[in-house]
Amino acid sequence: MMGAAAEGAPDAARFVRLFAEGWAGPSPEKLMDLLDDRIRLVQPIFAPSIGRDAAAARFFRPLLRFMPDVRLEVRRWSASGDVVFIEWAASGTLSGQKLTWSGVDRLILSNGRAVERVAYFDSMPLLMETLRRPSRWLAFWRSGIGRPFRAMFRGASRPVSQ
């Protein structure tokens, strides 16, 4: 794991190390410990969430129900002031097939914890892989990941009123 911390970012190296440890398991408890009570999470596929309880309910639990073996490996990182960028490679299994993807998290830290996390990655390969196999649809829905898509499908079957 390569990294560079600018002056004024003493918590960055520690945060990145704990981030890597939390996603190596993954350990929901370790990951939640990285988050400030005011956390704002934004990422593809999932609805944005504000607060630790929402982060657990709308992101961590659904993700780990759908792909319990998901892992992120930190490739490199950098920090300046309270902003940390972490480039990662992820892997997990869906219906026996190994999937890999990569992305970057931009985090804003306060007192060593993230108050904002915005993840940047191409979610289309993951969605397409899920949609290609009907055997995955129920698991996708039951995990809670599919719930943000309900609104799209509710309106799709209604006639347009004039």
Per-residue pLDDT, 24? 94
Domain range enclosing 135: 2-145
Residue 82, domain member (yes or no): yes
| Residue found under tokens 């593809």 | 44
- 93 vs 156 pLDDT, higher one: 93
Per-residue pLDDT, 8? 43
Residue 150, domain member (yes or no): no
Residue 15, domain member (yes or no): yes
Q: How far is CA 130 from CA 24, 54, 67, 97, 100, in A?
A: 23, 24, 11, 11, 13
Residue 152, domain member (yes or no): no
Choose among 28, 60, 26, 37: nearest CA to 114. Answer: 37
Using the predicted structure, report yes or no on whether residue 64 has a pLDDT greater than 90. no
Per-residue pLDDT, 21? 95
Residue 122, domain member (yes or no): yes
- 58 vs 155 pLDDT, higher one: 58
Q: 23-38: per-residue pLDDT in tens?
A: 998 888 889 999 999 9
- 129 vs 38 pLDDT, higher one: 38
Q: How many domains does the chain have?
A: 1
Per-residue pLDDT, 106? 98
* 105 neighbors 88 (Cβ within 8 angstroms): yes
Per-residue pLDDT, 155? 52
pLDDT above 90 as % of the chain: 46
Quick check: helix, strand or coil at residue 113?
Answer: strand
Residue 154, domain member (yes or no): no
Per-residue pLDDT, 76? 97
Residue 17, domain member (yes or no): yes
Q: 73-119: per-residue pLDDT in tens?
A: 999 999 999 999 999 999 998 878 898 999 999 999 999 999 999 99
- 40 vs 27 pLDDT, higher one: 40
Residue 68, domain CATH: 3.10.450.50
How far is it, in rounded angstroms, from Cα 154 to Cα 115? 33
Using the predicted structure, report yes or no on whether residue 146 has a pLDDT greater than 70. no
CB atoms within 10 A of CB 33: 12
Residue 162, domain member (yes or no): no
Average pLDDT of the residues in 56-63: 85
